Structure 1
Amino acid sequence: MTTLDIKFRYATQPSEAVLLALSGAREVYGIRRINFDREKQTVLVEYDATRLTGAVVANLLRRSGLDIVEELSLIPPPPTPAPAAPAA
């Protein structure tokens, strides 16, 4: 088994019906965990990459009623380089 994480931003807070549908999505073979960050409006899904793809996971969330806006990178952007000192 190869577990991967994928993170999505959603547009609106999920309703109770959507959360109930997502609890059923956890029963899909290959979905290991679904975590919400309500402040950042993101959902992090841990899944088995030998069974599912990122596109399948996104489709599963959309079919549950979650309004997915975009997929977010889990790799932080590189730091901005410091400005070079002027040559003397």
Structure 2
Amino acid sequence: MTQLDVLYRYGVPPTEASALAVARVREVYGVRRIEFDEAAKTIRVEYDATRLNEPMIHELLRRAGLDLIERVVLAAPPAPVPTPAPAAS
């Protein structure tokens, strides 16, 4: 089992109906946890990557009625390793 997290920023706060629909997304096999941060207007989903992928999670949340604006990068990619300058002879 490979567990991944994905974080999305949403625009309009979820309505009661969409909040209930998001709660049902938790019942999808492979979704481990869903956390809302109302202050930051984000939703974090922990899922099993052997069962689901990020586009599937995105679609589940959109179908639940969330106004997803963007995916938030959780970790920056590693900086490129500089190549050493050739030695002068």
TM-score band, normalised by the shorter chain? Answer: 0.7 to 0.9
- CA offsets 1:25-81 (integer angstroms, 9 cap, x no match): 100000000000001100000000000000000000000000100000001589xxx
Find the counterpart in structure 2 of residue 24 from structure 1.
24
For residue 50 of structure 2, what is the amino acid of its counterpart?
T
For residue 17 of structure 1, what is the amino acid of its counterpart?
A
Q: Distance in 1 between matches of 2:3 and 2:69?
A: 23
> What are the ranges of 5 or more consecutive residues in structure 1 without an aligned counterpart?
79-88
- In our comparison, the structure showing a higher alpha carbon Rg is 2
Find the counterpart in structure 2 of residue 74 from structure 1.
74
For residue 20 of structure 1, what is the amino acid of its counterpart?
L
SS in 2 for 1:50: coil
SS in 1 for 2:19: helix
What fraction of aligned residue pairs are identical, expressed as a percent?
A: 53
Find the counterpart in structure 1 of residue 4 from structure 2.
4
C-alpha root-mean-square deviation of aligned residues, in Å? 1.4
For residue 68 of structure 2, what is the amino acid of its counterpart?
I
| Structure 1 residue ranges, 4+ long, deviating more than 3 angstroms after superposition | none
Q: How many residues align?
A: 78
| TM-score (normalised: structure 1) | 0.85
Q: Distance in 2 between matches of 1:77 and 1:49?
A: 19
| TM-score (normalised: structure 2) | 0.84
Q: Distance in 2 between matches of 1:37 and 1:74?
A: 15
